[in-house]
Amino acid sequence: MQVIAAAPPVTIVQRLAVARSAVVATLLVAAAASLAWLFVGTPFVGSLIPEGRPSDAQVIVNVLVWTVVLIVPASLLLIGVTRLVEAFEAAAALRPRPLSPAVREALGPDSLAATDLRLPGGRRVHELVLGSFGIVVVGEVPPKSISRNVGPRWEIRDERGRWIPVEGPMERTARDAERVRGWLAGDDRDFVVKVYAVVVTNDPRVERSASCAVVRPSDLASWMGALPPQRGLISTRRERVEQLVREIAASGTSR
């Protein structure tokens, strides 16, 4: 069993953006801690509060002082932590995507799996498995918390809470399989590698179609084991397919 995690193409601008967000978040958290120490650990706030019976103007000043003491450090800390979490998420998005547990458990000893492959033309394949049966393209389903579907139409909720139409998981996986089939056919026109499409999910919203199967995570191993071996996929041809997958995974771009 071999697993390839394709490295997504990362530009200097993206790296600088993540670094800038991390620095800004760190400075905000440091500023919040410094102000909290200044207000609580030093007599600075006490020096601003008059002694004795305060006048109306002094009461207003006291209220303003304590408002600043309570709100400013807490606000800076909240903003800083939020920015820091966003920076970590952005950094995580730049790392190769790990193989899903369901696919990992379904792999045989002679299988080759790859994640997040960027095909010629820019389309990305979620997961791909190469075995004696040919190739299986594994699709993903968006989380229920940010997705909905009405019949064949699927929508994703963006950061502003708006619902935007997206390609359904079945259609996307079937098209990914077709792109993989066309990509491999361009390298060896005398032999066609069998390419299967499957969506692995427990989501009842997803139903199988003529071009894409749907299986539960616990059933993926038996489903892949039931696929018939492709007789024409001899060792030399399989080695060539493995080489193509490794090349495109290493480059992150079309060959």
Q: What is the CA radius of gyration of the chain?
A: 27
User: Quick one: 154 and 55 in the same domain?
Assistant: no
| Edge-to-edge strand list for the sheet holding 153-157 | 147-150, 153-157, 163-166
Q: Residue 73 has which token pair?
A: 């450090």
User: Quick one: 121 and 213 in the same domain?
Assistant: yes
- Report the distance separating Cα 198 and Cα 222, nearest Å: 13
The lowest-confidence range among 92-96, 156-160, 239-243 is 92-96
Q: Residue 181 has which token pair?
A: 């089939």
Half-sphere exposure in the Cβ direction for 4 (13 Å, CA): 26
- Single out the residue in 63, 93, 123 at which a domain terminates: 93
User: Quick one: 187 and 243 in the same domain?
Assistant: yes
- Single out the residue in 93, 127, 142 at which a domain terminates: 93
Quickly tell me which residue has 């968006």 as its tokens. Answer: 142
What is the residue-averaged pLDDT of the chain? 81
What are the start-end ranges of the E strands in 111-242? 112-118, 124-131, 134-139, 147-150, 153-157, 163-166, 195-200, 213-215
Q: Using one digit for the tens of pLDDT, what is the confidence trace for 136-154?
A: 999 988 888 888 887 778 8
* 4 domain-assigned: no
Residue type, position 98, single letter: P
- Report the distance separating Cα 212 and Cα 200, nearest Å: 11
Contact assessment for residue 140 and residue 206, using Cβ atoms and an 8 Å cutoff: no
Give the domain extent around 54. 12-93
User: Quick one: 32 and 66 in the same domain?
Assistant: yes
User: Quick one: 119 and 78 in the same domain?
Assistant: no
Q: How confident is the model at residue 255 (pLDDT cuts 50, 70, 90)?
A: very low
Mean pLDDT of 8-28: 76
Q: Residue 221 has which token pair?
A: 């191993």
Half-sphere exposure in the Cβ direction for 234 (13 Å, CA): 4
User: Quick one: 136 and 208 in the same domain?
Assistant: yes
User: Quick one: 224 and 115 in the same domain?
Assistant: yes
H/E element holding 194? none
Q: Using one digit for the tens of pLDDT, what is the confidence trace for 101-133?
A: 888 888 888 888 888 888 887 788 889 999 999
Q: Residue 189 has which token pair?
A: 């026109």
* 208 domain-assigned: yes
User: Quick one: 76 and 200 in the same domain?
Assistant: no
- As beta bridge partners, residue 148 has 155
pLDDT of residue 3: 62
- Single out the residue in 93, 124, 153 at which a domain terminates: 93
Residue 85 burial by Cβ neighbours in a 10 Å radius (0-12, 13-18, 19+): exposed
* 232 domain-assigned: yes
* 6 domain-assigned: no
User: Quick one: 25 and 40 in the same domain?
Assistant: yes
Mean pLDDT of 225-248: 88
Contact assessment for residue 157 and residue 163, using Cβ atoms and an 8 Å cutoff: yes
More confident residue, 89 or 157: 157
- Report the distance separating Cα 78 and Cα 220, nearest Å: 43
Half-sphere exposure in the Cβ direction for 204 (13 Å, CA): 0
Q: Provide the angle, in degrees to the nearest 10, between the axes of the packed helices 56-93 and 12-40.
A: 150
pLDDT of residue 227: 92
User: Quick one: 29 and 114 in the same domain?
Assistant: no
pLDDT of residue 198: 94
pLDDT of residue 7: 52
User: Quick one: 72 and 126 in the same domain?
Assistant: no
More confident residue, 70 or 194: 194
* 5 domain-assigned: no
Mean pLDDT of 213-231: 91
* 79 domain-assigned: yes
Mean pLDDT of 210-228: 91
* 240 domain-assigned: yes
H/E element holding 159? none
More confident residue, 70 or 165: 165
- Domain count along the chain: 2
- Is the model's pTM score more than 0.75? no
- Report the distance separating Cα 220 and Cα 103, nearest Å: 7
pLDDT of residue 202 exceeding 50, the answer is yes
pLDDT of residue 253: 44
* 237 domain-assigned: yes
Q: Using one digit for the tens of pLDDT, what is the confidence trace for 159-182?
A: 778 888 888 889 999 999 999 988
Contact assessment for residue 204 and residue 158, using Cβ atoms and an 8 Å cutoff: no
User: Quick one: 62 and 88 in the same domain?
Assistant: yes
Mean pLDDT of 220-234: 90
